[in-house]
A = this chain, B = another copy of it.
Amino acid sequence: MKDYILKDEWNIIERGFVSEYNRISESIFSIGNGHMGQRANFEETYSGDSLQGSYLAGVYYPDKTRVGWWKNGYPEYFAKIINSINWIGIKVVLNGQELDLARCVIHKFERRLDMRNGLLSREVEFTNAAGERYRLAAERFVSIVRPDAGLLRYSITPVSGSAQIEITPYLDGNVTNEDANYDETFWQPVNQQASDEAAMVCMETRKTGFRVCAAMQCDLLINDTAAGIVAIPEASSGYAGKRYRTRIDRDGKLTLYKYAAIEVSLYHTKESLEETARQQALTWQQTGYEALKTEHSARWQEKWQESDIVIEGDLAAQQAIRFNIFQLYQTYTGDDPRLNIGPKGFTGEKYGGVTYWDTEAYCLPFYLRTAPPEVARNLLRYRYNHLPKAIENARKLGFTNGAALYPMVTINGEECHNEWEITFEEIHRNGAIAYAIYNYIRYTGDTSVIEEFALEVLIAIARFWAQRVNWSEARQAYVILGVTGPNEYENNVNNNWYTNYIARWCLDYTREQIALLHNQDAKALRKIFSKTNFKAEELNNWQKIASQLYLPVDKEKGIFIQQDGFFDKEIKPVSTIPDNQRPIVQHWSWDRILRSCYIKQADVLQGLYLFEDHFDTATIERNFTFYEPLTVHESSLSASVHCVLANRIGATDKAYEMYLRTARLDLDDYNEDTCDGLHITSMGGTWMAIVEGFAGLRVKDDLLMLTPNLPASWQSFTFSILYRGCLLHIRIDRNFTRISNSGDTPVSVAIHGKTYRVEAGKELSAENRQATSLEKSH
């Protein structure tokens, strides 16, 4: 854990430079717009430790799989979003000596991420090896309005005397990934051009053939006045730059504006790419940096209007939740169903920017509640588009009849993961994808997705479960053998309660949706049946399986059993593990972890979270009380679910402890891995922890419900949601829950079980229940 980020409501601030933290800061201060992401690398050359990262959504390379011992069914490649053309680069030479902060004495250093406006800035004052002192100020953003625009302002001031400054903004496609299994080159150059006006680099990925073209225009100012210096163009394979040289007086200022347009063949024909990039860069230049910044800021402020959370009385929590919301919107904007949300977004190479079940389980609830329904719908459609590949994936593993197994890890629908215990066995992911459909409909009330595409997904998933079970003569029940549940510290177990439960639910929910559509639009259903070659017997079979599917329960303890044989383990709370053996994944051998009772992330509790309505509070409480003390939360996705459930049973202190674990995970580098990138998908969980946790927000039978619990240290918290076309601002303090409805229609809300009607344009104020006696000591 680290504590070097200054606490501030709207800004992330690093003051003073510690080179060992540079990779961490490069992750934390990342900027993005859902289409491009850029780590907070310095513009100028830096020879110290750094992970260069410029990422483009959807532009991936199928890196050849590295495996120790091949198993039949492993994928050939691991797709990864790769480091792309460096568009921020500026080479700076000061009196003949190249600027490299690793070789300078740094007097002042501030890096700042202005989340309100979506801006990254840096101010540095330093003395170089020649003993000359300079000031440097840089600001940049990737426009949230224009997905292809990367813009920056960079200025240098000689402080100790006048200086001959050579400044070369460039584009460079000669970039590599640190994470490359066989040191392959991912990119090949297509073209490059440089003139005294513009510069352009065009690259193409090997194998996948994504073409990317970056063009730039520059303005150079001396003391804020156009300098009128003619640039010397530079070009070489995959590289283009423009070299400016001038003398700047002491305390004078040389300012460079760099307008980069980065165009991708996902959105343009390859032939038109170069011209598009050149034209766009020219447009940005003509529009001007400040105007572009103004529209960018304005759009960010709109987003904040819809999705901000204000916490009174807890600055650290305030900063953290805004950081999480900000990074989520930097990663995914929901305008292209071909895109998704990588566990690290565009902030590093780890996990390759590809899609996990994290999206459905942790991110969809956020976008569903803060963005128009189209955004969440595009996340559903993403999986629908991958359905043929998911069917193909299941077929490879021996399933038939259009059964689908969605991949554990994917970018284009094909499986990329290659640990048998995950790839082949962590099949509950199929359930999360079905649940996302249910979740979408429950929140939005929009059932049109069923007919449009979602029923096909549900049928394929139900078919998978129907084949994945087998009849156990010994138990006289259907069982699901050889799985890995959400708790990946158990592998290849039988009858994982969560998996069996969600499998059963999938079978039931699909039957239910078929019945509904049959009533509403039998013709549409027939069309889907015909398309999926559906047989009526399947329904009976599903019904039979669901009704006889084994679910491990300990009746005496009144809890669900994580999997068969769990009670053969030695059950001792996490608190008995010596501190110096935590996290256990770093200190214990894998077999020891597997044999232990310790739970990486919510497993039975994940099921109770998803299917809360199916269980009474006492059941949830018994299971929480049993499983929480056994949970090590060594996944970033765990604490948020525990936070919601702790709130559910009124354990507000435990809930707040869980919230702290998730909210500042990256800002405080809790797991010492922020250097690899930010935990983007877990940020959705943090949002859930507040809104579903402390606010207790639910939607049930088309009724919005709130059951607020205010953490002791908070005076109030305020958040906004988009619900059935209405933007609702909700403020919860010790005494009142206030809801103001900015929409055009009234909204019914139940607060602590009592139903109110919030008229359009009006505010409702309801008294909160007193702190109850439900708070338990654990």
Q: Which residues of A contact B (CB under 8 A)?
A: 65-69, 71-73, 396-398, 418-421, 424-425, 470-475, 479, 481-482, 491-495, 564-565, 567-571, 585-592, 594-595
Contact = CB atoms under 8 A, between A and B. Distances in A.
B592 A420 contact: no
A762 to B, nearest CB: 55
B567 A474 contact: yes
B594 A492 contact: yes
A420 to B, nearest CB: 4
A73 B593 CA distance: 11
A592 B481 contact: no
B470 A570 contact: yes
Contacts of A495: 568
A586 B71 CA distance: 9
A672 B285 CA distance: 67
So how many copies of this chain end up in the complex?
Answer: 2
A567 B494 CA distance: 12
Nearest to A78: B68
A624 B668 CA distance: 60
A565 to B, nearest CB: 5
A444 B421 CA distance: 45
B564 A565 contact: yes
A398 B592 contact: yes
A68 B419 contact: yes
A406 to B, nearest CB: 15
A568 B472 contact: yes
B481 A565 contact: yes
A568 B474 contact: yes
Contacts of A473: 567, 571
Contacts of A68: 65-68, 418-419
Contacts of A594: 481-482, 492
9 contacts: A66-B66, A68-B419, A69-B419, A72-B585, A396-B589, A398-B589, A470-B595, A491-B491, A491-B492
A569 B470 contact: yes
Contact of A590 (B420, B589, B591): B420
A493 B490 CA distance: 11
Given A424-B589, A475-B568, 13 more contacts: A65-B68, A66-B67, A68-B419, A396-B589, A424-B591, A470-B569, A472-B569, A474-B567, A474-B568, A491-B492, A494-B565, A564-B565, A565-B565
Nearest to A73: B589
A48 B418 CA distance: 35
Nearest to A425: B591
A481 B568 contact: yes
A393 to B, nearest CB: 10
A587 B66 contact: no
A586 B67 contact: no
B72 A595 contact: no
A495 B568 CA distance: 10
B65 A591 contact: no
Nearest to A492: B492
Contacts of A587: 72
A397 B588 CA distance: 7
A398 B595 CA distance: 12
Contacts of A470: 568-570, 595
A591 B396 CA distance: 12
A397 B567 contact: no
Given A65-B68, A424-B591, A592-B397, A479 B568 contact: yes
A419 B568 CA distance: 24
Contacts of A589: 71-73, 396-398, 424
Given A481-B568, A565-B494, A568-B479, A397 B72 contact: no
Contacts of A588: 72, 398
Nearest to A471: B570
A482 B595 contact: yes
A572 to B, nearest CB: 11
What 4 A-B pairs come out closest when comparing CB atoms?
A: A73-B589, A424-B591, A474-B567, A67-B68
Contacts of A475: 568
B591 A420 contact: yes
A424 B590 contact: yes
A482 B419 CA distance: 17
A465 to B, nearest CB: 14
A412 B339 CA distance: 51
Nearest to A550: B568
A482 B474 CA distance: 22
Contacts of A69: 418-419
Contacts of A418: 68-69
A151 to B, nearest CB: 39
Contacts of A424: 589-591
Nearest to A589: B73
Contacts of A591: 73, 397, 420, 424-425, 482
A492 B396 CA distance: 24
A360 to B, nearest CB: 22
Contact of A71 (B420, B481, B492, B590): B590
A564 B567 contact: no
A73 B590 contact: yes
